């Protein structure tokens, strides 16, 4: 990255050890509005591995005291943070729309999810339950407790720039860990807004550290000996690298990666409801969700009726700057992401799929300075096509035919990912069959593949993840480990599994 020339634009620093300061590198990178790349939001630190190492050292020092703060006291700070975010929801949402592009209604939801997660996880400060069990020996007590891991490395993507950091950082803190946080370089302002709230709420110096920058920072987090757990959300390709980098140090690794999610529309479905769900699931956030409904398989008896109305609804979507009233779909996050979308549209055409609606970049008038693409539907798609198997992360939906529920389930399970799936049907037997047989971490009935809530586990199977979950109480398992404790008050040696007691 080149160092931009001096301007009056706001410059944002790193937070290391309780102090906001620039990187000694002197390098900065730009953050621009994807709906209008003439709009420069700010300049952010292009940090070095040395910056990351200083942040890790600060977090390690802070851990010694933070782990001893009683969990209910840690929770009180997080409750204050949740309320501060709630008080500033509209401001944070508008700034997020400016830097990320999704429509204001959706960025309000993103901020609300951070509020919900913070309140929910703060509640775990008084509930971090272990187990007490009867010992097999007399005069002996047996129990288990959670204990913190140490310094947590957190790497987050750009599509949910406040919600996803909250999924990771809040449970890490309530468990007694400290954090070094590297947000996406495409959405650093929302990350800074989130961290400043934690600081204002009373999180002590060094407990949360933020370092902006590129892949070199993330590599340090994945490889440094002082990092105990690394939590990453992003592409499967990068997640694999994170896992490989972390493996030699035996770190706990939490990965949340790609998805190629399916909506199954059966012949008994309420079609209007299914169409509404597929529009929202496929084109909400411009399709830039790991849970986006990028595949739809429709029973052949209702395929034509579904596709006709689905195309009409999608064609009528208003695309534009997400800050403007009435806009329903914003831009791609960057020129690179837009290029990926355009490349896959060409792949779909070459594979023989039919462009039912869309298929083009938008370049004229209000679109001239942004990364806009038409919402696009492909028909006549077969399950073997690349557009039906590979994650596009854009406003492109592939529609396929099926002859039965069994075939729909086979198509759903045929991809490398296993994050989310849904079925539209009025037959409870079909719904429960699909619930059982689709191999994903999330499943919906008569709803699209998006819309997870913070109090249930979030995550997927196969190439989507590595077995861990975010959200709900399952998140505590990522950021803590179990300690079993035995207290023998017999005053003599008792040997488990050997000594027996007389009745």
Give me the active site residues, please: 256, 290
**DSSP secondary structure of 67-80:** TTS-HHHHHHHHHH
Query: Residue written as tokens 């989130």?
Result: 194
SS3 of residue 157 by DSSP: coil
The answer to whether the beta carbons of residues 455 and 472 sit under 8 Å apart is yes
Work out the end-to-end distance of the chain between its first and last CA atoms, rounded to an integer number of angstroms.
76
Q: Is 408 helix (H, G, I), strand (E, B) or coil?
A: helix
Contact between 91 and 110 (Cβ < 8 Å): no
The whole-angstrom separation of Cα 1 and Cα 30 is 9
Residue with tokens 């590599």: 219
- Picking from 220, 243, 248, the residue whose alpha carbon sits closest to that of residue 231 is 243
Looking at residue 286, the DSSP 8-state letter turns out to be G
Indicate the pairing of strand 262-265 with strand 376-379. unpaired
Of 193, 181, 198, 56, the residue nearest 122 (C-alpha): 198
Q: From CA 456, how far away is CA 472, in angstroms rounded?
A: 4
């Amino acid at each position: 990255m080149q160092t931009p020339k001096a301007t009056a634009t706001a410059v944002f620093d790193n937070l290391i050890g309780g102090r906001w300061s620039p990187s000694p590198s002197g390098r900065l990178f730009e953050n621009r509005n994807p709906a209008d790349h003439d709009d420069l939001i700010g300049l952010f630190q292009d940090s070095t591995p040395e910056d990351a190492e200083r942040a890790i050292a600060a977090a390690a020092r802070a851990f010694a005291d933070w782990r001893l703060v009683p969990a209910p006291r840690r929770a009180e700070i997080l409750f204050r943070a949740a309320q501060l975010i709630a008080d500033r929801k509209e401001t944070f949402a508008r700034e997020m729309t400016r830097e990320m592009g999704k429509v204001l209604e959706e960025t309000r939801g993103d901020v609300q999810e951070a509020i919900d997660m913070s309140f929910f996880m703060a509640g775990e400060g008084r509930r971090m339950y272990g187990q007490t069990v009867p010992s097999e020996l007399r005069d002996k007590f047996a129990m288990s407790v959670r204990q913190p891991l140490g310094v947590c490395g957190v790497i987050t993507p750009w599509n949910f720039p406040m919600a996803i950091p909250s999924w990771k950082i809040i449970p890490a803190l309530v468990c007694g860990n400290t954090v070094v946080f590297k947000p996406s370089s495409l959405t650093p302002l929302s990350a800074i807004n989130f961290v400043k709230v934690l600081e204002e709420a009373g999180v002590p110096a060094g407990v949360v550290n933020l370092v902006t920058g590129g892949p070199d920072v993330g590599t340090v987090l994945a490889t440094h000996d002082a990092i105990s757990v690394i939590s990453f959300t992003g592409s499967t390709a990068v997640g694999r690298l994170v896992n490989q980098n972390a493996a030699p140090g035996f770190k706990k690794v939490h990965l949340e990666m790609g998805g190629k999610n399916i909506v199954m529309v059966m012949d008994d479905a309420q079609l209007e409801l299914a169409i509404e769900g597929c529009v929202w699931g496929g084109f909400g956030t411009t399709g830039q969700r790991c849970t986006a409904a990028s595949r739809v398989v429709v029973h052949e008896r209702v395929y034509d009726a579904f596709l006709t109305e689905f195309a009409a609804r999608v064609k009528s979507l208003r695309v534009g700057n997400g800050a403007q009233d009435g806009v329903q779909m914003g831009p791609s996050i960057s020129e690179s992401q837009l290029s990926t979308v355009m490349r896959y549209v060409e792949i779909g055409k070459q594979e023989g799929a039919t462009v039912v609606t869309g298929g083009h970049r938008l370049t004229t008038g209000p679109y001239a300075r942004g990364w806009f693409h038409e919402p696009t539907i492909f028909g006549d798609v077969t399950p073997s096509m690349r557009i039906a198997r590979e994650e596009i992360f854009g406003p492109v939906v592939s529609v396929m035919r099926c002859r039965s529920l069994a075939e729909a389930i086979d198509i759903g399970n045929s991809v490398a990912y296993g994050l989310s799936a849904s079925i539209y049907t009025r037959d409870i037997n079909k719904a429960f069959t699909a619930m059982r047989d689709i191999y994903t971490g999330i499943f919906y009935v008569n709803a699209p593949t998006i819309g997870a809530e913070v109090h249930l586990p979030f995550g997927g199977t196969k190439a989507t993840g590595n077995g861990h979950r975010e959200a709900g109480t399952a998140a505590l398992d990522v950021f803590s480990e179990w300690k079993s404790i035995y207290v023998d008050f017999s005053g003599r040696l008792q040997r488990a599994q050997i000594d027996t007691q007389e009745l």
